[in-house]
Amino acid sequence: MCLIKLSTRAQNLWTTRPSPVQVIHNLLKCLTTLLHFLRCKRAPKGDSSLKLRRCWVGLCLFVSSLSLQTLPSYANLNATDAYKIYAHIKIGSYRQFVCLEKLWTKESNWRPKATNPKSTAYGIPQLLKLKETNPYKQIDLGLKYIDKHRIYKGNACLAWAHYKKHRWY
């Protein structure tokens, strides 16, 4: 099972709600953990445990869709949160997302119009000579860059480690 400790930074847990973004990120973390479990523990053909696991996936997706629909009406997500949720869904791994979030926060603070006066870097991932203005396509291109780069090999944590050492990735 997916056990996630929710931190509300308050002593009275009954009166404090996590923000909608925290709820979404925690649900995505749970789903990626469950999907990883399903990929690693494949059952032979005809095994009833495979049907049981598929049932759990369906149940988890159903519960997550319900929780997203029951967000309070005042819970307006800002654009940065939407970009982060999109990147989290695309990258799949919670650990990789944490590294990516740190990297792109340092690079552009998740601003799609961020520029670098010392180079041609532009956008959320601060790619050189990037002309794309759509933030979601910028995220896709940034993830593709990390995936295709010979040093990072699709690992956002390696890109973050390289950034901490060299101040670029």
Please state, in angstroms and rounded to a whole number, the distance separating the CA atoms of residues 165 and 169: 9
Residue 127, SS3? strand
**Same domain (yes/no): 84, 162:** yes
* Paired strand residues for 115: 122
* Residue 12, in any domain of the structure: no
Pick the last residue of a domain from 69, 92, 110: 69
Q: Which residues of 22-59 are buried (b: 16+ CB within 10 A; e: fewer)?
A: ebbbbbbbbbbbbeeeeeeeeeeeeeeeeeebeeeeee
* Paired strand residues for 128: 121
* Tens digits of residue pLDDT in 84-98: 999 999 998 899 999
Please state, in angstroms and rounded to a whole number, the distance separating the CA atoms of residues 121 and 124: 9
* Residue 39, in any domain of the structure: yes
Domain count across the chain = 2
Pick the last residue of a domain from 36, 69, 102: 69
pTM above 0.75, yes or no: no
**Same domain (yes/no): 161, 83:** yes
* Residue 106, in any domain of the structure: yes
**Same domain (yes/no): 161, 84:** yes
Which pLDDT belongs to residue 4?
47
Range of the domain at 145: 79-166
Residue 84, SS3? helix
Instruction: With a cut of 70, list the residues of the chain below it in pLDDT.
Output: 1-22, 30, 32-77
